[in-house]
Amino acid sequence: MTSPLSRSRSRRAPSHIAGRVAHAVFGGLLALGWLVLPITATGAPGGIDTVAAGQPVRSPSVVPGEADPGEDETSASDLVLPVALVGAAGAAAAFTYTRRKRRASTRTTPGGDLGIPPVASLCELDRQARTSLVETDDAVRTSTEELGFAAAQAGAEAVEPYAGALAYAKSELTAAFRLRQQLDDAFAEDDSDKRRLLEEIVARCADAQRRLDAEAAGFDQLRALERDAPRALEHAETRFRELTTRTGTADAALADLRKRYALSASATVAGHAEQAKDRLVFATTHLNQARQSVDLDDQGPAAVHLRAAEGAVDQAGTFVDAVDRLAADLAAAVGKLPAALAGTDTDLADARGLLQGTAFTVPRGDLQGRIARAESVAADVRREMSAGPYDPIDALRRVEQADASLDEALAGARSREDADRRALALLDQSLLTARSAVATATDFVTTHRGAVGSEARTRLAEAARRLARAETPGTTGQTLSPGPAALADAQQADGLAREALRLAERDVRAYGNPYDGGTVAGAHGGGGMGGAVLGGIILGGGAGPGGAGHGHAGQGGGPGSFGGGGTRGRRGGGGRF
């Protein structure tokens, strides 16, 4: 495909030629004028002097005279000036052409003298793509949150058009993250492939944000926060009171998890109750300010404070829900472990029998290594279970991975039906660990998005995509049979989600400690302001080293709203934050 820059250059080529032709024609006309001028001047008595003096020109009388012996000499001298002018015009055209060519070959900004935007380097384009991913992901997450409040207020049917716009934006963002993952996996073979993928990432992100921006005005009319602030405020206050109660319950649940399981089992939610309280402190401040504004019939500020409070309440709910979900996942893992260990024992017996046979589909040494690993894992897990508190999700993950390795070696000795059946049994275990890992990483990115960069978000998006495929075995695009393909997707989703969490935690550490006195490095003000900036509730945070974001924040600009990059900060802070 011809690039836009090439097409614009090809369109400009005729204009260059036309310019050179114009120079030549102009020179020719000048020469012709000089040729005609002597004839005109000599053909009329008085000639130019008579006309210049304002006198009438007399009709000439033609009287034969003596032959001019110097006619040839005079004619030659009359042609000197026209010929010189033609030569000068040609020289001017040649000079213009040479100058243009030299300028084109030496300038550092392609097309800069003709108003064409400079072509970004790959490094610049890569930074732009990372920034676009972070900003679009933030816009989608903020829009999802406010859409939930709108649905609770106006009903699901009323928000259908905006839900459709959000679904479209999510699909474009998912595709953009997929392209970023391809780049990170080094699928692009050369610079032209990299440029093509990066440009498509930027284009898809822009399209997603435009779609959200296009619906922002209508969404504001639906919510009508400025007009109907009292009712929306009442709903937010009700939700706030519910979460205040649940946060206390989460504290007790965390204490119970620490007693029942190893500390590593609850490490991902260890500070969730405190972080939920931090968000509720921020919500309290802005609910009170919103209530005061409503009482004064000052609807504009009421809407701004209400949006800030809604975002904080929503994130407090995310923290509390994560504690409840982890407790359920840990209990489910405890229930699945005995069957998982029994399945491993069965596969170990089959593998030992295969070693004694004569037909091998894998090298004997490789099979012996897989057997030894599975035996070691099964023994370690049984010892942990009997020794006291342990981490059941981690134990189930290790058993499933060791058993899957055995199962792969045994696949050649089993019928396809038996292999699929065993893979689907392992899939049930793998899905539990994958879902838990994806949910944990999603919650962390959502509640710390002011600091999390594009790398962690890309891994998380790919993990979610793999998990979705694993949950629907037999979907298109899988080269293996349904059972093994789904199992592979679930295992990859688990690994990618855990990597995403690690990268996101790294970004937050680089950003600063968000709970040191209720502030975050680079964000000022108490009352939960630091957590609100870190959580992306107040716009103006910045992505960490994993991807260019928005730069470290100062006071913050105001709460985010439904919309893309052009509209989601429309409420602004107005100095209130």
Distance CA 443, CA 455 (A): 16
Q: Output the pLDDT for position 5.
A: 40
Q: Name residues whose C-beta falls within 8 Å of residue 46's C-beta, 6 or more positions apart in sequence.
A: 53, 55, 57, 58
What is the dihedral sign for C-alpha 568, 569, 570, 573? positive
Q: Output the pLDDT for position 355.
A: 79
Beta strands in 176-225 (DSSP E): none
Q: Output the pLDDT for position 176.
A: 98
Distance CA 522, CA 531 (A): 11
Q: Output the pLDDT for position 95.
A: 53
Distance CA 233, CA 224 (A): 12
Give helix then strand counts, H and E, for the chain: 15, 2
Which two tokens mark 150?
């709108």
DSSP element (H, E) containing 5: helix 4-43
DSSP letters of 74-142?
HHHHHHHHHHHHHHHHHHHHHHHHHHHHHHHHH-SSTTGGGTPPPPPPHHHHHHHHHHHHHHHHHHHHH
Q: Output the pLDDT for position 358.
A: 54
Q: Output the pLDDT for position 497.
A: 99
Which two tokens mark 286?
């802005």
- What percentage of the chain's residues is helix, strand, coil (to nearest 5)? 75, 0, 25
Bridge partner residues of 519 (DSSP): 516
DSSP letters of 30-84?
HHHHHHHHHHHHHHSTTHHHHHHTTPPPPPPP-------TTHHHHHHHHHHHHHH
DSSP element (H, E) containing 255: helix 229-260
Distance CA 454, CA 57 (A): 87
**Three-state SS sequence of 448-497:** CCCCCCHHHHHHHHHHHHHHHHHCCCCCCCCCCCHHHHHHHHHHHHHHHH
Q: Output the pLDDT for position 188.
A: 60
Q: Output the pLDDT for position 186.
A: 81
Q: Output the pLDDT for position 354.
A: 81
Residue 555, classed as helix, strand or coil, is coil
Number of neighbouring beta carbons within 10 Å of residue 272: 25
* Single pTM value for the model: 0.76
Q: Output the pLDDT for position 494.
A: 98
Distance CA 570, CA 567 (A): 5
Q: Name residues whose C-beta falls within 8 Å of residue 484's C-beta, 6 or more positions apart in sequence.
A: 411, 419, 420, 423
pLDDT tens, N- to C-terminus, the chain (577 residues)? 444 444 443 444 444 444 554 554 455 544 445 444 444 444 444 444 443 444 544 444 434 444 444 444 444 445 545 445 555 555 555 555 555 555 554 444 444 444 556 778 999 999 999 999 999 999 999 999 999 999 998 899 999 999 999 999 999 999 999 999 999 998 667 889 999 999 999 999 999 999 999 999 999 999 999 888 899 999 999 999 999 999 999 999 999 999 999 999 999 999 999 999 999 999 999 999 999 999 999 989 999 999 999 999 999 999 999 999 999 999 999 999 999 999 999 999 988 888 776 555 667 778 899 999 999 999 999 999 999 999 999 999 999 999 999 988 887 777 777 777 788 889 999 999 999 999 999 999 999 999 999 999 999 999 999 999 999 865 545 544 567 888 999 999 999 999 999 999 999 999 975 444 433 333 344 578 999 999 999 987 555 444 444 433 334 478 999 999 999 998 875 545 5
Which two tokens mark 385?
């279970």
Q: Output the pLDDT for position 91.
A: 53
Bridge partner residues of 527 (DSSP): none
Q: Output the pLDDT for position 250.
A: 96
Residue 2, classed as helix, strand or coil, is coil
Which two tokens mark 573?
């802070």
Distance CA 77, CA 422 (A): 106
